[in-house]
DNA sequence: ATTTAAATTGCAATCGATTGCAGTTATAAG
DNA sequence: CTTATAACTGCAATCGATTGCAATTTAAAT
C-alpha cells in the first residue's frame, strides 16, 4: 500500500512531451513506433522506475495471462508433479498459474470453478474430484469458449482437450504381469467407476484376465475411494472371501500399501502368498518392504503437455483446434511385491 | 472469448432505472442500500446472469485478492504440504494463490518476484532458493509495503514475518530419545553447515549429548548433502569406525533410509543393534520396515500460519504489526527404528 | 402541517492502459 | 521543388466498477 504513487505511462509521456498512446505502443514493442522513440521511452521508463499496471491492462484487454488449475489435492506426489510441469511451461510463456484444491469435494470444486470464471482466467486445467458426477460447473467454460484442458480425471461428455495416461494398458500390463508370475485368482481394488480412469483400469484388468482364460470373480472386485482405510477394509473383505485371492491389482499405491500392511500383520507373505501391484509410483512404493510393483504415470510431462495445449488454445483465440485426447504412456515398474 | 457481451452493473441499473452506483453498493452488501432495493437488484442480477468483472474491480480498488508464493520446488512433499496449507487458508479468506517455483535458481527467483510485483499480488510468501544470497528482489516488496512472509529458508536481514520450525529442539528431542532408549555412542549424519537449519539440528544434538554427560566423538559427525547415496556413504564410514555407533541421529529421513537399507543388507538389526531417528517425517518413513522414528515438520500448518499472518497483514493496510518470527513446534514421532 | 434529521440514491470523476482512426512528419520518386 | 507514399504520432473513446459528495426521499419530532 505504498503511498508514493506509481509512475504511469502518462508520467513518461508528460516527461517526454509525447502521447501516452505512443508510450504504450513502445512499451509493448509495437513495431510501428520508431526505434529512436522507443529507445527514448524505454530509457525514461527505466529512469522513472515505471512498472506496468497489469490490472489496468488486463481490464482493458480482457486477458489475464493467468491459468487456473483445479485438482483434488496438491499435497500428493502425482498432482504436485503435474503442477510442477504446468508451472514450468506456463512460466516460459509468461503465464501465471493459480491453483486451488477441491479436496475431492464437489461443492468446493464448483465454487473454485466459479471463482476462476469470475477472475477471468484465460484458461483452466482440471482434474475432477472423486465425487464429481455433474459437469455444469465446467460446461460454463466450454460454452463461453474459455479454453479448458482436462488431465487424469476427465469428463468425456465435455468437448475439450484431454490428457490422460493409458490407464487401460496400465491395468492390462499390471494384470498380465501378475498372471505371468503365477496369479490365478486375481482380485482388483478399484476406484469409483464414475471416473473414467478407474473404468479403464478395470477394463484392462478384465481383458488381461480373459485373454489368459481366467475368470473374473465379481466378489473379487471392490470399488471404493482408495484411501488407506478403504484399502484396509477392502483387503479384509477379500480375505474373508471363501475364495481367497492369490494376487491383487490395486488401482493405486495407497491401497496396495494398505493390503501389504494388513497382510503382514496377519502373517500372510507378499509376494510369496499373494502378489500385489499398485498404480502411480508414489515415492513410498519404492521403499516399502516389500517394495511395491506399480505403474508409473509421467506426472510432470502430463502437466507440461496440458499447459502446452492450453496455451496454444488460448493463443489461437477462438480458432479452436479439433479437441485431442492425448494418451501418455504408462510404464510397469517391477519390484518385490509381485515377483516370486 | 465469448462474443455475447457480459452483463454489467450498468445493464442492471438500466433495467431497474436506477444508478449503477446503487447497484454496485447493493452487490457489495453495503448496508447503506435499503433492503428493498438490494433484494430487487440481487434478483435482477441473478436473472440477467450477472458476473462481476473482477478485473475492473481490481483495477479500481488496486487490490487483487491474490497471494503469490515463491518456493524452490513444488514437487516435494514438504513444499506441497505448505502450499496445501496456504491454499486452504487463502481460499477461506477469498484469496487466490499464485505459485511459481524457482528451482533453486536465483535469476528465476528474481524474475518471479518482479512478475508478482507487476501483477500486484496483495502479498507474497517466500522460501528462498539455495543460491539466494542477495535480497534486492525481495526488498522491493518490503519497501513498497507489500506484505511479505518468509517460511523455511528465511532472509534474516529483511524485516518481515518468518515461519520456521524449531530445528534445535527437534535435534535435541531426537537425540534425547535415542539416549533414553539406551544409545551411548551416538553418531550424527547432518546437512551442510552453511544452512542454519542443519546448524541448529547439530546444536540440539550436541546439547542433548552433553546434558546426559555423553561425549561427542568428532569421528561420528558426518556432514553431506543428505541424498540417498550420501547417506549410504556416511553409514559405511561410520561402520568402519573402530568405535561403531549404537545409535544414529540423521538430519533427514532419506539418509535414515539409506542407513536402514545398508544395515539390513549387512545383517545388522535396526533397532536391536542400532537405533535410528530421522527428520522431516517424509511419507515413506511411516511405511518402511522398520518404520522410521522421525521429527515431524508441520508443513501444512506452516502454510496455514504463513497465509494467516500474510492475510492479517494485508487486511491491516499498512498498520503493520511488529514482525514476528514464528517457530513452529516439531514433534518426535516414535516408530520402530528407535525403540528396543 | 411544518421543520429537521436520517436514510437512500444519484452524479460524475476516476483508476491506467489500449486502440481505431485521423493527423502529421519524414522519405522517396519524379 | 513538388507530390505521393510510407512511417510515425496523437486524439479521444473505452473497458466496468468504485466512491466522495450532492441531491432527494423518508421518517420523526414539534
Q: Is the CB of B18 under 7 A from strand D?
A: no
CB contact under 8 A, A55 and B64: yes
CA-based nearest residue to A303, from A117, A165, A169: A165
The highest-confidence range among A315-319, B36-40, B70-74, B274-278, by mean pLDDT, is: B274-278
Domain extents in chain A? 9-52, 64-164+299-327, 167-297+333-338
The pLDDT, as a whole number, for residue A255 is 97
Neighbour-count burial of B209, counting CB atoms closer than 10 A to its CB (0-12 exposed, 13-18 middle, 19+ buried): buried
CATH fold for the domain made of A9-52: 434 Repressor (Amino-terminal Domain) (1.10.260)
User: Which nucleotides along chain D are within 7 A of a protein C-beta?
Assistant: 7-12, 14-20
The B221-223 sheet, strands edge to edge: B221-223, B186-190, B247-250, B275-277
Q: Is the CB of A1 under 7 A from strand D?
A: no
Q: Do the domains at A64-164+299-327 and A167-297+333-338 have one common CATH topology? A: yes
For A4-21, how does the pLDDT look when each residue is reduced to its tens digit (9 = 90+)? 578 999 999 999 999 999
- The DSSP result for A230-248, as a single string, is HHHHHHHHHHHSSS--SEE
Distances (CA, A) of A26 to A16, A96, A255: 13, 24, 58
CB atoms within 10 A of CB B283: 18
Read off the pLDDT band of B1 (50, 70, 90).
very low
With contact defined as beta carbons under 8 Å apart, do A268 and A241 qualify?
no
For B140-152, how does the pLDDT look when each residue is reduced to its tens digit (9 = 90+)? 887 778 899 999 8
With contact defined as beta carbons under 8 Å apart, do B204 and B233 qualify?
no
The pLDDT, as a whole number, for residue B120 is 87
What pTM was estimated for this model as a whole? 0.85
Distance (Å, rounded) from C-alpha A162 to C-alpha A140?
A: 17
For A94-117, how does the pLDDT look when each residue is reduced to its tens digit (9 = 90+)? 899 999 999 989 999 999 998 898
Who has greater pLDDT, A315 or A210? A210
The pLDDT, as a whole number, for residue B71 is 93
A62 touches B at CB < 8 Å: yes
Per-window interface: B 85-114 vs A, CB < 8 A: 87-88, 91, 96-101, 108, 112
CATH value of B64-165+300-328 in 3.30.465.10, 3.40.47.10, 3.40.50.2300, 1.10.10.10: 3.40.50.2300
CATH value of A64-164+299-327 in 3.40.50.2300, 3.90.550.10, 3.40.50.300, 1.20.58.1290: 3.40.50.2300
CATH fold for the domain made of A167-297+333-338: Rossmann fold (3.40.50)
Q: What are phi and psi of B226, to 5 degrees?
A: 65, 30
Q: Determine what percent of chain A is predicted with pLDDT higher than 70.
A: 98
CA-based nearest residue to B151, from B82, B102, B212, B94: B82
The pLDDT, as a whole number, for residue B291 is 94
CB contact under 8 A, B99 and A120: no
**Taking all residues of chain B, what is their mean pLDDT, rounded to a whole number?**
91
CB contact under 8 A, A96 and B74: no
Amino acid at each position: 500500500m505504498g503511498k508514493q504513487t506509481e509512475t504511469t505511462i502518462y508520467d513518461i509521456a508528460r516527461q517526454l512531451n509525447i502521447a501516452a498512446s505512443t508510450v504504450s505502443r513502445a512499451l509493448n514493442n509495437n513495431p510501428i513506433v520508431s526505434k529512436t522513440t522507443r529507445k527514448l521511452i524505454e530509457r525514461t521508463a527505466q529512469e522513472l522506475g515505471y512498472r506496468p499496471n497489469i490490472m489496468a491492462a488486463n481490464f482493458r484487454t480482457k486477458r489475464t495471462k493467468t491459468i487456473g488449475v483445479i485438482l483434488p489435492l496438491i499435497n500428493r506426489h502425482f498432482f504436485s508433479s503435474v503442477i510442477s510441469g504446468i508451472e514450468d511451461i506456463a512460466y516460459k510463456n509468461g503465464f501465471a498459474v493459480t491453483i486451488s484444491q477441491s479436496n475431492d469435494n464437489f461443492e468446493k470444486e464448483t465454487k473454485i470453478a466459479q471463482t476462476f470464471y469470475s477472475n477471468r482466467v484465460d484458461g483452466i486445467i482440471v482434474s475432477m474430484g472423486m465425487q464429481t458426477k455433474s459437469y455444469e460447473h465446467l460446461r460454463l467454460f466450454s460454452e463461453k469458449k474459455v479454453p479448458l484442458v482436462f488431465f487424469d480425471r476427465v469428463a468425456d461428455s465435455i468437448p475439450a482437450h484431454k490428457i490422460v495416461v493409458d490407464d487401460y494398458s496400465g491395468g492390462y500390463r499390471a494384470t498380465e504381469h501378475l498372471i505371468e508370475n503365477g496369479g490365478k485368482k486375481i482380485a482388483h481394488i478399484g476406484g469409483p467407476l464414475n471416473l473414467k480412469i478407474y473404468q479403464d483400469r478395470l477394463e484392462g484388468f478384465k481383458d488381461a484376465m480373459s485373454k489368459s482364460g481366467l475368470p473374473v470373480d465379481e466378489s473379487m472386485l471392490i470399488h471404493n475411494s482408495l484411501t488407506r482405510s478403504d484399502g484396509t477394509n477392502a483387503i479384509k473383505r477379500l480375505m474373508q472371501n471363501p475364495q481367497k485371492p492369490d494376487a491383487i491389482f490395486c488401482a493405486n499405491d495407497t491401497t496396495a500399501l494398505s493390503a501389504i500392511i494388513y497382510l503382514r500383520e496377519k502373517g500372510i507373505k507378499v509376494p510369496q502368498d499373494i502378489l500385489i501391484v499398485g498404480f502411480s509410483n508414489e515415492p513410498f512404493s519404492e521403499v516399502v518392504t516389500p517394495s511395491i510393483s506399480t505403474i508409473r504415470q509421467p506426472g510432470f510431462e502430463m502437466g507440461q503437455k496440458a499447459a502446452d495445449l492450453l496455451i496454444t488454445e488460448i493463443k489461437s483465440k477462438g480458432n479452436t483446434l479439433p479437441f485431442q485426447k492425448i494418451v501418455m504412456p504408462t510404464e510397469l515398474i517391477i519390484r518385490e511385491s509381485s515377483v516370486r
